[in-house]
Amino acid sequence: MTTTIELIDYVYEQPAMLKSIVDNRKELLKSFIEGFRQHEVSRIVLTGSGSSYNASMSSRHFIAKLLGIETQVEYAHTFAQYTHVYNKQTLVFALSQSGESTAAVECVQKANELGLFSVAITSGEGSLITEFAQNQIIVPSGEEKAGATTKGYTATLLTLFLMAIETAHATGKLPEGEYNRYIDTLYKIIDNMAHTIAAAEEWYKEHKDELLAAKNYIFTGAGDHYGTAMEAGLKFLETSRIPVTIYEFEEFMHGPYNAIDENSYIFYMGAPGQDFDRMMMLTDYFAKITSHGFVVTKSGGEQRPGSLAPNFVNDEELSPIEYIVPMQVLFFRAAKERGVNMRTPRYVDFHPSMKSKRRLRFL
C-alpha cells in the first residue's frame, strides 16, 4: 500500500533537514566562497519570485550587515526585463527552488549579459538555471510533491543566512566569537522546531472554527518579518484559495487601516525588534474593531487574546526561520479542512500557457 505524502509531512521533516544543512555548510558553500573571493563585490541583488522573493526579503538586512555590502531585492521578472545599467561589481543571486523558473533563468542571462557575477540558488541540481549561472549553491532540501513549498522555503532562507555567515567569516569580517554564536543559535532554533510545530497544532485545534470562518486574511510584519508575512500570506492564498492581503507594518497605517472592520481576520508578526511595541499597539487598536486578531509571538512575553505563542528562541536576526513554521501548520490544516486538493494547482494549464516554468515538478 502506497502512502500519499502530504504537505504537513514536509513540515515535520524540517528539523532534521535543516540540521543537516548546517552540519554540511562548509561543503555546501565552498564553491561559492571561492568564486566570491575572485570578484570585487560592492553590491548584491537578490532576485526571485514567490517564496524565493520572500526568503530574500527576510534575509537581505542580515546579509548587508554581515558582509558590509549594499543588498537589495528585486522581482526576477523586473530585473530580467527592466534593468539596463548596473554597477559592474554587482553580485546577482537568482533564486529558484526548482531551478525551472523562466524569470530566474532570464535573470542569470541578464546578469551575464551585463558582465555581472551570477549565482543560482536552487534545490534543482542539474536544472535549467544551473546551465547558465557562473556559480551555484545547491540547497539540499529535496523535491516537494504536495503542492505549496514548506521545507524548500526554510532551507532557502537558512542557506541565505549561512551564505552570509560563512562568507563574512571566511573574508575576515566576522570574528570567531560572533561566528560561533550565530551557528549555535541556528542549532538552537532547529532543535526547538518540533516544539514550535506542536504548539501550532494545538493552537489550530483551539481556533479552527474561527480560522475557517474567514472569507479573507490580512498579514502584516515589520523589517525582515515583512518577508515572513509575505510568505505566510502567499501560502494561505495558494492553499485555501481565498483572498489574502499583505502589508508592511508601517504602510498598513497609511490608508489600508481604513478597510478594517469586524469581519477582518488579521495575523500580526509580533517578532523581536524595534517595531515590537508599536506592533502591539496596532493589535490593541484593531482589537476594538475586530475580535479576529492573531499575534504570532514568543510565549511568556506580551500576550493578546488569540496569540499563537510557541516557545521561540526569538533571536532578532535569525527569527524569520522559526516564525514561518507555525504558519505552515496553519495553512495546511485550514486548506485540508476546506477540502482543497493542494497537490494540484487550481489551473493546471497556467504555467504552460504563460511559459513561466519549464515544467512543474510536483505534478
Task: Tell me the per-residue pLDDT of 288-334, one tens digit each, with 9 for 90 and over.
Answer: 999 999 999 998 766 787 899 999 999 999 999 999 999 999 999 99
- Per-residue pLDDT tens over the stretch 91-133: 999 999 988 899 999 999 999 999 999 999 999 899 999 999 9
Would you list the domain boundaries of the chain? 7-187, 193-337
Q: Which fold has domain 7-187?
A: Rossmann fold (3.40.50)
Helices (H), 68-175: 76-82, 102-113, 151-170
Domains 7-187 and 193-337 share a fold: yes
Whether 199 has a pLDDT exceeding 80, the answer reads yes
Give the cell for residue 57: 526579503
Whether 5 has a pLDDT exceeding 50, the answer reads yes
How many other C-beta atoms can be found within 10 angstroms of the C-beta atom of residue 134? Answer: 15
Whether 208 has a pLDDT exceeding 90, the answer reads yes
Whether 362 has a pLDDT exceeding 50, the answer reads no
| Residue 305 pLDDT | 79
| Residue 363 pLDDT | 31
Contact 264, 285 (CB under 8 A): no
Whether 146 has a pLDDT exceeding 90, the answer reads no
At 352, the pLDDT band (50, 70, 90 cuts) reads: confident
| Residue 3 pLDDT | 72
Whether 240 has a pLDDT exceeding 90, the answer reads yes
Residue 107 CA to residue 224 CA, distance in Å, equals: 23
Contact 295, 249 (CB under 8 A): no
Whether 357 has a pLDDT exceeding 90, the answer reads no
What is the rounded average pLDDT for all residues in the chain?
Answer: 93
| Residue 347 pLDDT | 62
How confident is the model over 163-181, as a mean pLDDT? 99
Percent of residues, the chain, with pLDDT higher than 90? 85
- Per-residue pLDDT tens over the stretch 339-351: 988 677 776 666 6
How confident is the model over 145-172, as a mean pLDDT? 96
| Residue 147 pLDDT | 81
How confident is the model over 187-214, as a mean pLDDT? 98
CATH H-level superfamily of 193-337 = Glucose-6-phosphate isomerase like protein; domain 1 (3.40.50.10490)
| Residue 302 pLDDT | 66
Give, in order, the Cα–Cα distances in Å from 288 to each of 26, 291, 296.
Answer: 51, 7, 19
How confident is the model over 268-297, as a mean pLDDT? 96
Three-state DSSP state, 47:
strand
| Residue 2 pLDDT | 54
Three-state DSSP state, 50:
coil
Interior/surface letters 176-215, b for 16+ CB within 10 angstroms, e for the rest: eeebeebbebbeebbebbeebbebbeebbeeeeeebeebe
Three-state DSSP state, 39:
coil
